[in-house]
């Protein structure tokens, strides 16, 4: 069974950095697109970053472009989200998710439990 486990969340001051990790099992990174989503209190879930299995490109949504970086360590079956210059509006529960599709989509097939990131001002 496909499983995803996000970790690394915590409290960080605005302007600081944090790295989230997602340990995956039950699938090959070559065949699945995998990415990060987040959901702030009272708001809908939104995409953050993703790696497409079809072309290997990384994609970012506008609020995090230039600040966040998604990367993967295939040997460890782990995906990371490096968060730099964080802002209070980055506060949210962050989820990693995957899909068999060769492009990143919002309706991912598999979801892990989220990890909470709180950015203080």
Of the pLDDT bands very low, low, confident and very high (cuts 50, 70, 90), residue 40 is very high
Q: Is 111:3 a contact under the CB 8 Å cutoff?
A: no
Q: Is 95 helix (H, G, I), strand (E, B) or coil?
A: strand
In the structure encoding, which two tokens stand for residue 7, read together? 């970790």
- Overall average pLDDT of the 13-23 stretch: 97
Q: Is 34:24 a contact under the CB 8 Å cutoff?
A: yes
Residues 76/65/43/39 CA torsion (nearest 10 deg): 10
pLDDT at site 1: 86
Question: For residue range 71-117, what is the model confidence (pLDDT) as tens digits?
Answer: 999 889 999 999 999 999 999 999 999 999 998 899 999 999 999 99
Cross-strand bridge partners of residue 69: 82
Of the pLDDT bands very low, low, confident and very high (cuts 50, 70, 90), residue 57 is very high
Residue 32 backbone phi and psi in degrees, to 5: -125, 140
Res 54 pLDDT > 90: no
């Amino acid at each position: 069974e496909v499983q995803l486990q996000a970790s690394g969340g915590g409290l960080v001051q605005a302007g600081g950095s944090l790295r989230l990790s997602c340990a995956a099992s039950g699938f090959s990174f070559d065949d699945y697109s995998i990415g990060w989503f987040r959901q702030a209190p009272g708001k809908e879930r939104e995409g953050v970053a993703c790696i497409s299995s079809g072309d290997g490109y990384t994609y970012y949504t506008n609020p995090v472009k230039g600040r966040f970086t998604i990367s993967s360590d295939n040997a460890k079956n782990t995906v990371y989200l490096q968060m730099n210059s964080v802002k209070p509006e980055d506060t949210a529960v962050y989820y990693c998710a995957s899909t068999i599709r060769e492009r990143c989509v919002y309706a991912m097939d598999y979801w892990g439990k989220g990890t909470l990131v709180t950015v203080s001002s």
